[in-house]
Structure formats: C-alpha cells, structure tokens
Chain A
Amino acid sequence: MSNKNLTRRGVIKTGAVAGAGLVLPTYLRAQDSGFTNAPTGDTVTLGFNVPQSGPYADEGADELRAFELAVEHLNGGGDGGMLQTFSSKALDGTGILGKKVEFVTGDTQTKSDAARASARSMIEKDGAVMVSGGSSSGVAVAVQALCQEAGIIFMAGLTHSNDTTGKDKKANGFRHFFNSYMSGAALAPILVDQYGADRKAYHLTADYNWGYTTEEAMASSTEALGWETVNSVKTPLTQTDFSSYIAPVLNSGADVLVLNHYGGNMVNSLTNAVQFGLREAEANGKKFEIVVPLYSELMARGAGQNIAGILGSQNWDWKLENQLGDRYSGTNAFVQSFGEKYGFPPSQAAHTCYVQTLLYADAVTRAGSFQPCAVVEALEGFEFDGLGNGPTTYRAEDHQCFKDVVVVRGKENPENEFDLVEIVEVTPTEQVTYAPDHPQFAGGALGSCNNGA
C-alpha cells in the first residue's frame, strides 16, 4: 500500500467501520442473558435441520411433518397429540415459557459440511435456540459438535451409530433414538431363538461410521450366543448393484447374511440377495436367512415384497400400543394426530423428532430457562413415560435414552404400503442397557455444557 492513499479522513472512516464491526456482536450479545440466542421477544425459534434433498429426502420430509405437528401442539393447536399422554405435565399448550414457538428449516443434504452450514445459518442468522433433526450419524456427529461450540442444544433426529453418544458425545447433545449396540442386544437372542445357536454369519457392511459400529454390535452380540462370523465385507456407500458381493456368500460356508446397510443400500442389497435366491437356498443343512439390523418403514416400502420374513429392529412402531397395550401409551395419540393431518401413519424418524421437540420444550419449562446448561441439567437423568416407548430415561452419563427396543419382521402379506412389518417382540430396557464405559462406546467425553455467548 502506498502512503498517498492513507488520508486522515480515510483512517477515521476505516476506524469507525472496524470499530462498529467489533462492537456489533458484543452489542447483540449484551442484550441476552448470558447465552447464545436468548429469546427476547414473545417468540422462540427452533431450528429443524433435515435432509430435504439427497438420498434421505423422504425421511427428512416425514421428520419435518412431525416437527410441524409438535410446534402446532406446543402452541396449543390441533388435538394436543402426546401432550395428553406425556408423564410430565409441565407443557400446557401456550408455547415454551409463554413464548410462541416458531421454527426455521435447513437442508442437511445428508452431507456433513452442508448440514453444518445450514445449522450455522439457523443459529447465526435466524437465532435458533435449539437444533434438531437429521437422518444420518455422520451428520448428527458433525452438527452436534457445531452446537456444542456455539452453545446451542442439539436434539438428534434419526442417528443409530454408537458414536453419537459414544466417542463423539457432547454435553449439549441428546439422542432419543436407539443405537447399534441396542439393535445387536435386542436382536441376537431372538435370532438364536428363531434360527438356532449353531449359525455362521456373513456380514456385508456399508463402508462408513454407522456400518462399522453396527457390524461390531451385531457380531459381538451374536457371537456371545454361539454364532460364528465367517466373513465381513465392506461395501462402498455409493454401490447400487451388490450382485458381486452377494454371489460369493452362498459358497462361503455361511448360512446367515447380515446386511449392515441402510437406505438405498439396504433396498438394493436386499433386493439383490433375494434375486440371487438366498431366501430359498440352504446351507449347512439349514435354511439360509437374511437379517437387517436397522429397519425403516420408508426403506421397507422401497424393498417391497423382498422384506417378507426378514428380522430387524426399530426404535418405535406405530402399531405398538394397539398390539402391546398401555405400556406404549402416547403411540395412538401421536398416530391419530399425525394420521388425521397427513393421511398416513408416521415413521420412526417422525416419531423421534416429535418426541425430541416435546422433550426439549418440557426441559426448558421445568428448568424455567432457555439457558443450555439449565436445559442439560433438566434432561440429564430425566425419567419419563407416555411418549410411545414406555418408561424411558435420558442417562446423564452419555445423554442416551434407554427404553425398550422393537424387534420386527417383514410381513408376508401386507395389507397396504404402511403395514409392512409385524412386531415380533419388544426387548425390555434392561436387556439393551450397557455401562457408559462399554468398549463399543469408549473414548471421548461429554465435557461440560456450553452456554455460548
């Protein structure tokens, strides 16, 4: 820079602009009560970060429906849904702490960087005080870390990897959805019961974080009950035709194929397995079986008749209360509200997002503050019921919900496209509970909560 550009007027102007720039954030923060995005008017903004494009866009759309319904109920609209059945009676349909609930949405695109960018935008531009949603563990871990840094509460949506509340857990993050370990612990005894203890399993695993933790959980749970893991093969996430991975399975000595796949991967690998005759095949003198550890209604719809007879696990199912009674109260209330509004039953992704929104609102109300650390304190160790899963606890040590796990099987003759799975059994909480320092969750620490600002 040459000296002749440096005028007194110029220096004053630049100084004023720079000064204003430095002061502005401080001014914005000065009007709050010591935490990021403290609501000041008569409204509070929640940020719903869901996949609106990309491979899980349909799940994202269902999550968004549930969020809208939750906001409607929190503001006193509709029939109140699960507010009627929730064991905590803090919420009264007048918003949260008397503030009307508003929301903004973001598109995660099921990409960690895009999800972080949209979450950041909702926090910085829209003033979201809580972020929720998502349909991928990679996204959940990334957004959770961002919320921790920003001093925002993150109520995870559909994320099943052990790491979300394992090595990547954060004090500001909470997960209602179940995890890979719980799927393994719930499924293994039923698999042994149905298919016998002398079984040899072949794993096909999606080559990313969620695939690894699910394979580890399934292998260790089934091996503990006598099964042998013959081989495990990683498949690229972008794979659409799994025939070259499926074809060698029959000659591998295995008699069970475990598909640690989700979404489009699951639909395609399962379809290929059925096409290659694995369902009719016999190996080691037994009928060949296929297992899908994490079921999703939306994916089941994609797989069509191929899921018939195949066992898997779910966080929740819309038929729970009808089939297993009052223990799962809240289910029917939610299905009724959702069904009346949208014309079809909700998916488990929708359920977990609806419940997370209510749990956050309830925690704020009980804490009497939107301050993240107060909300964390209200949620840690919180025991509740009436939200569709039976008695549930938000464990303080890792911010993971502990509740029953639903084991399901693809229906042989579904009556319609929403009734594709039947509930085989519900595995009680005690059977899927693990120590906070369990090896599958080792590493990482919650740290301390962050109020931001």
Chain B
Amino acid sequence: MDQIIVQILNGLDKGSAYALIALGLTLIFGTLGVVNFAHGALFMLGAFCAVVFSRLLSLSHEVVDETRTDFLGNPMTVDVPYMHDIFGPEVGASIIDWAVPLSILFSIPVMIAIGFAMERGLIKHFYKRPHADQILVTFGLAIVLQEIIKAFFGANPIQTPAPTAFTGSFDFGAWLGFDPLTIMYPYWRLVYFFFAVVVIGGVFAFLQFTTFGMVVRAGMADRETVGLLGINIDKRFTIMFAVAACVAGLAGVMYAPIVAPNYHMGMDFLVLSFVVVVVGGMGSLTGAVFAGFLLGILESFASMPAIVDLLPGINQIVIYLVAIIILLTRPRGLMGRKGVMEE
C-alpha cells in the first residue's frame, strides 16, 4: 500500500509538468491551429529564466583575500555578491536563497515577450501552411533555441536549488499512520503540485469567467463567426499564444529545482506532452490536464521495481502503449471534440 501511495505522489509532480505543457500546447492548437513543436523549448527557456535570475541575484564583485591562496598559489579572489553589499549578508543571502520562487516575477514578462516575438516573428507566417510545415519550422526553432542556450550555458545541467526551507522531505508515512520514513516526499515537489493546480485553475478561470476568455472560447469554436462580429480575434489569439508560452515557462521555472536545467530538457518533455495532448483529445483543455496527470502516474507505476522485474522495459513504453489503446478505442482521445484535426 505504501508503495502505491509513493508512486501516486511521484506521478503527481511529473503529471503536473506534463499537464502544464500540454495545456499550453492545446491552447495554441485550439486557438491558432498551429502544432507547436517549440513548446518544449519554452518550458526549457522557463527553467533557464530561473538560472539567469539566480545568477543575476548572485552577481558579485571580486575581493582579494590575502590570507588565502588559489590553486596556482596566488592570493585568492573571493566573490562577494552585490546583494550582500546592498542588504547586508543575512538578508542578501536569503534573497539569493529564494531565487527560484522570485524568478516567477522575472519570468512572466520575459516569457510573454518571447511568446509574443515567436508568434509575431515566425509562427504567424505559417498559419495557412500545412501542419507538416508548421511542425518543421517549430521543430527547427526548438533546435535553434536549445543550441543558443547551450552556447551560453554549456551542455551540463546547472543546479538551481529550491529555497533551504523546502529542501527536506515530508514524511507522508508518519502523517498517514504508516511506519515513519516509509513514504517520503520532497517539499518542493508538493509545492510544484500545488503551484500547477493554481496555474491550471487560473487559466481555466481566465477562459471561463472573463470577457476576454469568452471571446477566445468563441473563437476556438468558430473563428469565422467571431471575426464577422467585428472582433479582432487574431490579436486575442496572439495574446493566448503569449499566455501559453508563459504557462510553459512557469512550469519550467518551478521545475528547475527538481531536475537541474539543461539545454535538452525541453525535448525530453515535448514528445510526452504531445502524447498527453493526443490522449486527452486534440483541442480539449480538460482532457490535456486529465491525461497529463493520468500518464504521469502511470509512468511512475511502471517504474516500480516489482513491475519492471515482471515486464522489463515497460517503464519506457507504458505511455505509448496506453496512447495506442486509447486511440484504438477512442480515436478522438479521452475528451476530444468532434471535427478537430479531422477535416
């Protein structure tokens, strides 16, 4: 029983990331009709927003410490962060410690700007082109973005720790009445799950309860009619692209302490997120979120030693296996709408 709870918990944080990325993908597909293979790169850029912001906060000036020597025997130069100079060592250190959560504030305008530039600069030219062209250009863009990141940050993962207050693990076992230390779950992953729930809830509320959201939903259902009513739907869809980029970026920012950011992390999530979208049903936002959590948990279960011993390699194919079964039995996915990607 405890193992099952452990794997459900593990699936939740991975599922949260899948759900956030798939939500953005579905938003873009539903509004603009574009299959955006660069969406994983937006997730990666988000994670690197956390890296950049951490580095900005840690910007230092060098002070020569005559009492110590470096590896060549010269007097050692010690880096003193400007934050320490401005706020004093204690407050300065706390600000640097909280770099990842603070990065959210930094990444929102950055990701919106990136989303805006991406849509206006490149993707809008491909609206009327076949899906194959859109896939090729966005895939190419993803490769360009990750190579740029590699050129600046190198190929190795960059550790971006969570605030010290969240570094430990929560003893779920003791909390649920099992033996202590049997079900441990890192605090930050809990934070990530709740953060994902809040962001997903926010996007749904935005679409459901605002006039803007209502127009966007109407545009998703029938773009032409909304246009005929004199509403500039293209402008709203551009904003939705930026919102989707921001959601993927935020997912990346908060994921940075879970898996150290590296230039390739977007690609790792991209393919799985597409499977999530297809399983959830093309164009269905609730389907994307539901499928994200479902596949995250399934993947987690399939990695249990007992199951891998029974079916070696199942952990690597389970998501695709489930996708095949669902598409065979429900060709539109779990919550797919009629007519989407079917013409």
Contacts and interface: CB of A to CB of B under 8 A. Distances in A.
A394 interface: no
A144 B217 CA distance: 60
Interface string A336-375: 1001100011000000000000000000000000000000
B226 interface: no
A53 B262 CA distance: 13
A397 interface: no
A268 interface: yes
A257 to B, nearest CB: 13
Nearest to B74: A339
A98 interface: no
Contacts of B268: 238, 240
A302 B260 contact: yes
A281 B189 contact: no
A179 interface: no
A267 B186 contact: no
A233 B259 contact: no
A178 interface: no
A58 B71 contact: no
A345 B71 contact: yes
A62 B300 CA distance: 37
Contact of B10 (A244, A263, A282): A244
Contacts of B157: 264, 267-268, 302
Given A233-B308, A418-B71, A244 B303 contact: yes
B7 A247 contact: yes
Interface string A236-261: 10101101110110111000000000
Interface stretch (B105-113, B148-156, B202-210): B148-156
A314 B273 CA distance: 39
Nearest to B303: A244
Given A244-B7, A244-B304, A275-B258, A302 B155 contact: no
Secondary structure of the B side of the interface? mixed
Interface string B1-12: 011001101110
Nearest to B188: A275
A277 interface: yes
A57 B188 CA distance: 30
Q: Which of A236, A250, A418 has the most CB of B within 10 A?
A: A250
B159 A267 contact: yes
B182 interface: yes
Given A55-B264, A336-B72, A277 B155 contact: no
A305 interface: yes
Nearest to B162: A275
Contacts, number: 122
Contacts of B2: 251
A15 interface: no
Contact of A298 (B72, B156, B308): B156
A54 interface: yes
A264 B316 contact: no
Q: Which of A58, A233, A240 has the most CB of B within 10 A?
A: A240
B74 to A, nearest CB: 9
Given A236-B316, A302-B159, A245 B303 contact: yes
A335 interface: yes
A430 interface: no
B91 to A, nearest CB: 21
Interface residues of A, number: 53
Given A244-B304, A248-B3, A336-B72, A271 B159 contact: yes
Contacts of A245: 303
A436 to B, nearest CB: 33
Contacts of A117: none
Given A236-B315, A267-B159, A275-B189, A280 B260 contact: no
B231 to A, nearest CB: 42
Contacts of A418: 71
Contacts of A251: 2-3, 6, 182
Interface in B111-166: 150, 154-159, 161
A276 interface: yes
Contacts of A271: 159, 259-260
Given A271-B259, A418-B71, A276 B181 contact: no
Q: Which of B2, B159, B188 has the most CB of A within 10 A?
A: B159
Contacts of A252: 305
A419 B78 CA distance: 13
A416 B70 CA distance: 9
A304 B186 contact: no
B195 to A, nearest CB: 16
A247 B159 contact: no
Nearest to A339: B72
A61 B185 CA distance: 38
B265 interface: yes
A240 B264 CA distance: 10
Contacts of A250: 181-182, 184
A306 interface: yes
Nearest to B178: A251
A248 B306 CA distance: 10
A94 interface: no
Contacts of A304: 159, 161
Contact of B71 (A236, A277, A335): A335
B181 A282 contact: yes
A56 B259 CA distance: 17
A23 B259 CA distance: 57
Contact of A318 (B71, B260, B299): B71
Contacts of B159: 267, 271, 302-306
Nearest to B71: A345
B14 interface: yes
B232 interface: no
A245 B72 CA distance: 42
Contact of B154 (A57, A241, A243, A247): A57
Contact of A243 (B13, B161, B262): B13
A344 B74 CA distance: 12
A263 B158 CA distance: 12
B169 interface: yes
Interface string B282-323: 000000000000000001100111001000000110000000
A240 B182 contact: no
Contact of A248 (B161, B167, B305): B305
The 6 tightest CB contacts between A and B, nearest first, are A304-B159, A277-B169, A57-B155, A244-B303, A275-B186, A244-B300
Given A247-B9, A271-B159, A335-B71, 13 more contacts: A58-B155, A234-B308, A240-B259, A243-B300, A244-B11, A247-B7, A248-B305, A275-B186, A277-B169, A298-B156, A299-B156, A339-B72, A340-B72
Interface of B: 2-3, 6-7, 9-11, 13-14, 68, 70-72, 76, 150, 154-159, 161, 167-169, 181-182, 184-186, 188-189, 258-260, 262, 264-265, 268, 299-300, 303-305, 308, 315-316
Interface of A: 53-58, 61, 231, 233-234, 236, 238, 240-241, 243-245, 247-248, 250-252, 263-264, 267-268, 271, 275-277, 280-282, 298-299, 301-306, 318-319, 335-336, 339-340, 344-345, 415-416, 418-419
